[in-house]
């Protein structure tokens, strides 16, 4: 049974959808049809989130994705209101936007509640969304955030090695950082001192409005430190880890047995569709 938000309490799901993928032929990955009834990847994810109890959807779009998303979803989906925030950058100074922290901070003002932020081109699973939703529903502290840990065995690729971020924990089992591990395959796990049960991040975070203010200040500092650089990006997992290490937030590690599905290259949608069809 879905535990709905108390009274009119909003809990939003925020999707990062600002980028276009060169590896996916310049197409919008979120619009790949993968569902049993021809639903797009984006629609399947939204359905999972809505069933889990989220009652507001926010898309962070970019110059090339703004119009397609607004044309497709307009102001609502399955009786759930949809809002938009736009990530921009100055091409005279930058070759690309300032990264995922910049994307999230661009939604400040649109986000007016506790929220989950995640990638728009990944499928996280209804149970994972529900675990995160219920955490946010019960969490009273503005300093208390969460990240969803997936079992490594559920997030590997049949196409070859993958990079995944392993959690660094304190004595209370709270996250104080993430360590990127590269080129993970089943056959090299022992060598890398990990196993199929190791919890890794797939960029599903439960945050509070106050977290946005903390991230905004870190972004300002990052831009000052790297002024003039055209390509460096400020990444959300790194900055949340730093905030946790500095005790500005508590980052709880939640666990799921859901299998993660995602699209990176053309043809991946076939594997996702097959998995969803069971």
- pLDDT for 265 beyond 90: no
The pair of structure tokens assigned to 45 is: 């994810």
Which of 210, 206, 204, 215 shows the shortest CA–CA distance to 243? Answer: 215
Instruction: State the pLDDT at residue 8.
Output: 63
**Chain segment 33-53, per-residue pLDDT in tens:** 999 999 999 999 999 999 999
3-state DSSP call for residue 50?
A: helix
pTM of the model: 0.94
Burial annotation 162-198 (CB, 10 A radius, 16+ → b, else e): bebbbbeeeeeebbbbbeebeebeeeebeeeebeeeb
What is the extent of the structural domain holding 4? 1-277
Q: How confident is the model at residue 3 (pLDDT cuts 50, 70, 90)?
A: low
Residue range 142-152: mean pLDDT, rounded: 98
Instruction: Tell me how many domains the chain contains.
Output: 1
Instruction: State the pLDDT at residue 157.
Output: 82
Instruction: State the pLDDT at residue 110.
Output: 99
φ and ψ of 177, to 5 deg: 165, 170
Contact 159, 263 (CB under 8 A): no
Which DSSP string do the residues of 211-271 spell out, in sequence order? HHHHHHHHHHHHHHHTTT-SS----HHHHHHHHHHTTSSEEEEEEE-PPPEE--STTHHHH
- pLDDT for 105 beyond 90: yes
Q: What CATH number has the domain bearing residue 79?
A: 3.90.550.10
């Amino acid at each position: 049974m879905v535990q709905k938000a108390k009274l009119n309490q909003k809990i939003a799901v925020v999707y990062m959808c600002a980028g276009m993928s060169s590896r996916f032929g310049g197409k919008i990955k979120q619009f790949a049809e993968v569902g049993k009834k021809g639903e797009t990847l984006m629609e399947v994810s939204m359905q999972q989130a809505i069933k889990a109890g989220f009652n507001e959807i926010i898309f962070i779009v970019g110059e090339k994705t703004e119009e397609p998303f607004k044309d497709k979803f307009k102001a609502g989906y399955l009786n759930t209101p949809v809002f938009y925030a736009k990530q921009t950058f100055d091409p005279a100074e930058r070759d690309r936007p300032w990264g995922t922290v910049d994307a999230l901070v661009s939604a400040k003002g649109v986000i007016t509640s506790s929220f989950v932020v995640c990638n728009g081109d990944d499928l996280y699973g209804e149970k994972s969304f529900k675990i995160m939703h219920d955490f946010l529903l019960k969490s009273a502290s503005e300093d208390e955030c969460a990240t969803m840990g997936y079992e490594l065995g559920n997030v590997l690729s049949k196409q070859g090695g993958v990079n995944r971020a392993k959690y660094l924990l304190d004595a209370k089992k709270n996250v104080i950082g993430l360590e990127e591990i590269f080129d993970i395959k089943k056959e090299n796990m022992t060598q890398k001192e990990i196993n199929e049960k190791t919890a890794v991040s797939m960029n599903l975070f439960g945050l509070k409005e106050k977290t946005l203010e903390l991230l905004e200040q870190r972004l300002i500092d990052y831009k000052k430190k790297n002024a003039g650089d055209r390509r460096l990006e400020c990444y959300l997992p790194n900055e949340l880890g730093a905030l946790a290490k500095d005790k500005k937030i508590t980052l709880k590690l939640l666990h799921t047995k859901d299998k993660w599905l995602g699209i990176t290259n053309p043809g991946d949608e076939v594997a996702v569709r097959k998995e969803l069809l069971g």
